[in-house]
């Protein structure tokens, strides 16, 4: 019986209304070995979760377990012995709760063993249902945490920002580019431009194009899928254009290299003018264009600096 | 709040220390236009790196400042727009029409230098 009660992790405050006042000291006095480590019988994932739960709920759990074991023991054993045990616990630990617990023991003695057993059974039923709910909640929490962690990892891995040369950033985007990622890209890009003092940013979408080609959207009944696909591309295009305009406000330019044909089409449809956004057929053309712009923009006194920088770094 | 206007070489530099209200913005614009005339400046740099909000009025005022200074022979460069401000402006569809932007004051000055150099070459 002890281990099973120990497994219930998600304790609700409402449960506490059933329980009496707490008895950590009582527990240690009574049975030092039983259930002192709450997380011991839990599944590996649950240990982590239990650690993350608030101390309040951990306290509630400990209190409830102590209460239950005590009630059972009170029902099974003779009341006098339990009361003695409790008194011993009081002497060892918190003397302040002593009078209250003595009062409780007296109240339980008045109830009698049969009533106590019924109470223990009711408590046991309640704990069983709680356990199922707790496991379900735990599963949901673990899944959410996993999904979040995976998403963060993906975000970090899939969108590196490479300072290619002084004042030139390269952002190779791989994998399918959806709306959320396009938005992340915009934010990351703007902060990177600011931090690196970039003049030109090349966003390479060649890998995106490859991903699109490798995994074409399954077309079951042609007409239904095509418009949705176009809408997604348009969204990405508008995000890219937004990124380009914001980048320009910072004083830098954006070059999109190797965009998938549909995206290139959507970009031109949205009126991406050459001033806001340049499109290059592939990465090398994009970088060439960027270097040309940099040489064009960088004033004479800085060119010497750049030349020195590039010779020392080659 | 009075925004100090400094003269550095051929350029005027106005560093906005905190977000300005509409009246202060207009005052700054008028003061800059007047100084362009008086000091015969070739360019104006408006540093907005400490401005965290740019509404449509601010954008319009800066645009009109650019037009006015251009008519007086000086180009205006807005420098130091913060990333979040730029993102918000792009989202709201506010663009600094006809205004040059640069990352910071040295960059803006470099752009003005380059432009002056090119216009000299064009004159040859």
Give how far A9 is from chain B: nearest CA, Å. 43
**A197:B103 CB<8 A:** yes
Least confident of A8-17, A167-176, A207-216, A298-307: A8-17
Predicted TM-score (pTM) of the model is 0.58
pLDDT exceeds cutoff 70 at B13: yes
User: What percent of chain A lies above the pLDDT cut of 90?
Assistant: 11
Contacts A250 to B, Cβ<8 Å: 81, 83, 86, 101, 103
pLDDT band, residue B11 (cuts 50/70/90): very high
pLDDT band, residue A263 (cuts 50/70/90): confident
Q: Given B90, B95, B110, which is nearest A299 (Cβ)?
A: B110
Nearest Cα to Cα of residue B13 among B39, B35, B45: B45
pLDDT exceeds cutoff 70 at A210: yes
pLDDT, greater one: A280 or A96: A280
Q: B89: nearest CA in chain A?
A: A246
Instruction: Encode pLDDT of A111-135 as tens digits.
Output: 777 777 888 888 888 777 778 888 8
Mean pLDDT of A261-278: 77
Mean pLDDT of B96-114: 87
Q: Note the pLDDT of residue A198.
A: 92
pLDDT exceeds cutoff 50 at A26: no
- CB-based contacts of B117: which residues, under 8 Å, 6+ apart? none
Give how far B99 is from chain A: nearest CA, Å. 9
Mean pLDDT of A229-246: 79
Select the residue from A198, A249, A299 to test the B interface by mutation, using most B Cβ atoms within 10 A: A249
Mean pLDDT of A231-243: 80
User: What percent of chain A lies above the pLDDT cut of 70?
Assistant: 53
**A246:B86 CB<8 A:** yes
| The pairing of beta strand B75-79 with beta strand B43-47 | parallel
Give how far B90 is from chain A: nearest CA, Å. 5
| The pairing of beta strand A277-280 with beta strand B5-8 | unpaired
Q: Note the pLDDT of residue B32.
A: 92
**A248:B111 CB<8 A:** no
Interface of A with B in 121-160 (CB under 8 A): none
In whole angstroms, give the CA distance from residue A106 to residue A117.
Answer: 16
Mean pLDDT of A198-203: 93
Q: How many residue contacts between A and B have a Cβ separation below 8 Å? A: 60
Backbone angles phi, psi at A109, to 5 degrees: -60, -35
Q: Buried b / exposed e across A13-34, counting CB within 10 Å, b at 16+?
A: eebbeebbebbbbbbbbbbeee
pLDDT band, residue A60 (cuts 50/70/90): low
Q: Is the ipTM of this complex over 0.95?
A: no
Q: Note the pLDDT of residue A6.
A: 41
Q: Buried b / exposed e across A55-73, counting CB within 10 Å, b at 16+?
A: eeebebbbbbbbbbbbbbb
Q: Buried b / exposed e across A148-182, counting CB within 10 Å, b at 16+?
A: eeeeeeeeeebbebeebbbbbbbbbbbeebeeebb
pLDDT exceeds cutoff 70 at A187: yes
- What residues of B are in the A interface, CB distance below 8 Å? 79, 81-87, 89-91, 95-96, 101-104, 107-108, 110-111, 113-114
Select the residue from B47, B86, B97 to test the A interface by mutation, using most A Cβ atoms within 10 A: B86
């Amino acid at each position: 019986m002890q281990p099973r009660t120990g497994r219930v992790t998600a304790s609700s405050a409402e449960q506490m209304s059933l329980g009496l006042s707490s008895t950590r000291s009582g527990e240690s006095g009574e049975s030092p070995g039983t259930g002192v480590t709450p997380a011991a019988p839990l599944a590996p994932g649950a240990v982590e979760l239990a650690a993350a739960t608030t101390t309040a709920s951990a306290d509630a759990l400990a209190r409830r377990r102590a209460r239950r074991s005590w009630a059972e023991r009170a029902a099974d054993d003779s009341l006098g012995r339990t009361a003695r045990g409790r008194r011993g616990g009081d002497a060892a630990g918190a003397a302040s709760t002593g009078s209250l617990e003595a009062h409780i023991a007296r109240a339980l003695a008045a109830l009698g063993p049969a009533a106590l057993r019924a109470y223990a059974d009711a408590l046991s039923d309640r704990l069983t249902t709680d356990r199922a709910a707790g496991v379900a909640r735990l599963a949901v929490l673990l899944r959410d945490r996993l999904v979040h962690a995976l998403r963060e990892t993906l975000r970090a891995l899939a969108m590196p920002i490479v300072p290619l040369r002084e004042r030139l950033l390269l952002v190779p985007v791989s994998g399918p580019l959806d709306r959320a990622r396009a938005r992340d890209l915009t934010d990351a890009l703007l902060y990177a431009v600011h931090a690196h003092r970039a003049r030109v940013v090349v966003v390479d979408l060649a890998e995106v194009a490859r991903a699109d080609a490798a995994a074409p959207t399954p077309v079951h009944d042609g007409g239904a899928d095509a418009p949705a696909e176009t809408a997604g591309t348009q969204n990405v295009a508008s995000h890219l254009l937004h990124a380009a305009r914001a980048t320009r406000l910072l004083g830098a330019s954006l070059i999109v290299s190797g965009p998938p044909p549909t995206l290139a089409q959507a970009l031109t449809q949205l009126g991406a003018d050459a001033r806001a956004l340049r499109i290059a057929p592939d990465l090398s053309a994009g970088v060439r264009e960027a270097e040309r712009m940099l040489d064009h923009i960088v004033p004479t006194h800085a060119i010497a600096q750049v030349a020195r920088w590039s010779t020392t770094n080659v | 709040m009075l925004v100090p206007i400094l003269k550095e070489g051929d350029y005027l530099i106005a560093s906005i220390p905190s977000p300005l209200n509409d009246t202060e913005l207009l005052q700054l614009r008028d003061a800059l236009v007047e100084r362009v005339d008086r000091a015969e400046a070739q360019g104006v740099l408006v540093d907005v790196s400490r401005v965290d909000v740019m509404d449509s009025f601010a954008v319009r005022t800066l645009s009109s400042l650019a037009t006015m200074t251009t008519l007086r022979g000086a180009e205006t460069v807005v420098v130091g727009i913060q990333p979040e401000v730029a993102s918000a402006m792009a989202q709201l569809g506010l663009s600094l029409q006809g205004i040059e932007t640069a990352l910071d004051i040295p960059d803006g000055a470099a752009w003005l230098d380059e432009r002056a150099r090119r216009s000299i070459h064009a004159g040859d």
